[in-house]
Amino acid sequence: MNFKNIYVTSALLSIFTFGCSQGSGPARTADQMVRPLADDVVIVEFKGGKITAGDVKDRVEAQVKQFSDEMIEAYKKGAEQMLVMKLMDEEVKKQGLANPQELLGKVAQEIQISDESIQKFIKDNKLDKGIQDPRTGKMRKVSTDEVRGFLTEQEMQSKQQSFFNGLRAQAEAKFKLEKPAVKIPATGNEPFTGKADAKVVIYEFSDFQCPFCARGNDVIKQVMTEYGDRVKLVFRHFPLSFHPEAEPSAIATMCAFKQQPGKFWEMHDIMFEKQSELGTASYKAWAKQFGLNEAEFNKCFDGKETKDLVDADMKAAEALGVNSTPTFFVNGKKVAGALPFAQFKSMIDEELAK
């Protein structure tokens, strides 16, 4: 996690039911979680006609998928919280402790943050000159105590997650409720890395100006380092409208891809590394830096054809119910947000074991 993005606003998950046929009863499988209204249900009547659910089916399909995904995640989250509570209670009894807090206290005792790691973090994140406080907009200094607290919290979360994963593994816990896998439509122009016929394929829909996407990219790098050719990563564009450089940066990477496919990933990496520098001048400078033909790159960047490739990704994403970045599909199963490596690892290991 980037220290500059500590202040994150969390939103409560809302659960929607879009509607179901009369007398259908509770859903028993994930693909039945949210069902659209029957085609003959009248939504609007007006002088001379009516509009039915069937008439607007194509317009609401993506929202139905989104609501279904949210409901599945809500059930899984609730079940996981209950599972952790049960396993923690069992572990407390096994170790003869008073309560779960005492158990977690033992985990916390293992954490040691060295002065060297603090200084390295400050240097790596260029915090020696301070940070901009998001509440006041002013620059302020960062103390070593703040960094120590931040690193301690991150290490605590990591150790607790590892501890919980260990308890789950011992209990041989497996989620039986899963999102139905979806087929990702291909355009034939998708940049990818990894083995072409890998058993696990991850589609990433991302925005180069999105700070959470940069964070997600760090996790995906960890995934590719861990799994190598066992995973194929396919990048798709989803530039958000309120990020002015999202679409131009996407076009720039595709111009690099059209010249030399491997150069896409060099442009991709520098976009995320230098988000504060995104702009036409930077794209052209980076193209030159990476050895691309400048005239060809500039002609491509200004042309409509490459924008069409980005638009095709957008349409594919919307049809899949993507409405935020980053969004991933692991063998067709949707994962929204910059989730920790451990969650990707769990999904990938499960797919590889099949």
- Label residue 293 by pLDDT band (50, 70, 90): very high
Determine the Cα–Cα distance for residues 30 and 178; give it in Å rounded to an integer. 6
- Are 220 and 348 contained in the same domain? yes
Residue 297 included in any domain: yes
| Over residues 93-113, mean pLDDT | 87
Q: How many residues does the chain have?
A: 354
| Over residues 93-105, mean pLDDT | 90
**pLDDT score, position 336:** 85
Residue 29 included in any domain: no
Give per-residue pLDDT as tens, 111-133. Answer: 888 999 989 888 888 888 888 77
Determine the Cα–Cα distance for residues 264 and 235; give it in Å rounded to an integer. 10
Q: Rounded to the nearest 5 degrees, what angle is found at the Cα of 217, between the Cα atoms of 160 and 295?
A: 170
Residue 200 included in any domain: yes
107: containing domain: 97-170
**pLDDT score, position 159:** 84
Determine the Cα–Cα distance for residues 132 and 144; give it in Å rounded to an integer. 16
Determine the Cα–Cα distance for residues 17 and 26; give it in Å rounded to an integer. 11
Percent of the chain clearing pLDDT 70 (strictly above): 91
Percent of the chain clearing pLDDT 90 (strictly above): 50
What is the rounded average pLDDT for all residues in the chain? 85
- The answer to whether 350 and 229 have CB atoms below 8 angstroms apart is no
- Label residue 13 by pLDDT band (50, 70, 90): very low
Determine the Cα–Cα distance for residues 347 and 343; give it in Å rounded to an integer. 6
**pLDDT score, position 27:** 67
Residue 56 included in any domain: no
Into how many domains does the chain fold?
2
| Over residues 147-170, mean pLDDT | 85
pLDDT surpassing 70 at residue 240: yes
Residue 240 included in any domain: yes
Determine the Cα–Cα distance for residues 252 and 284; give it in Å rounded to an integer. 8
Share in percent of the chain as helix, strand, coil (round to 5): 55, 10, 35
Question: If DSSP codes are grouped into helix, strand and coil, which group holds residue 237?
Answer: strand
| Over residues 167-183, mean pLDDT | 82
What is the rounded (10 degree) CA torsion for 232, 222, 2, 152?
150
Give per-residue pLDDT as tens, 186-216. Answer: 777 899 999 999 999 999 999 999 999 999 9
Q: Which residue has the tokens 């980005």?
A: 310
Residue 14 included in any domain: no
- Label residue 178 by pLDDT band (50, 70, 90): confident
Determine the Cα–Cα distance for residues 132 and 179; give it in Å rounded to an integer. 40
Provide the residue type at 146 as one letter. Answer: E
Q: Could you tell me which of 229, 246, 227, 228 has the C-alpha nearest to residue 237?
A: 246
- Label residue 32 by pLDDT band (50, 70, 90): low
Determine the Cα–Cα distance for residues 46 and 68; give it in Å rounded to an integer. 31
Domain harbouring 335, CATH code = 3.40.30.10
Residue 319 included in any domain: yes
Provide the residue type at 290 as one letter. Answer: F
**How many Cα neighbours within 13 Å face the side chain of 217?**
22
Phi/psi-derived region of residue 268, left when phi > 0, alpha when psi is between -120 and 50, beta in every other case: alpha
Between 246 and 70, the more confident residue is 246
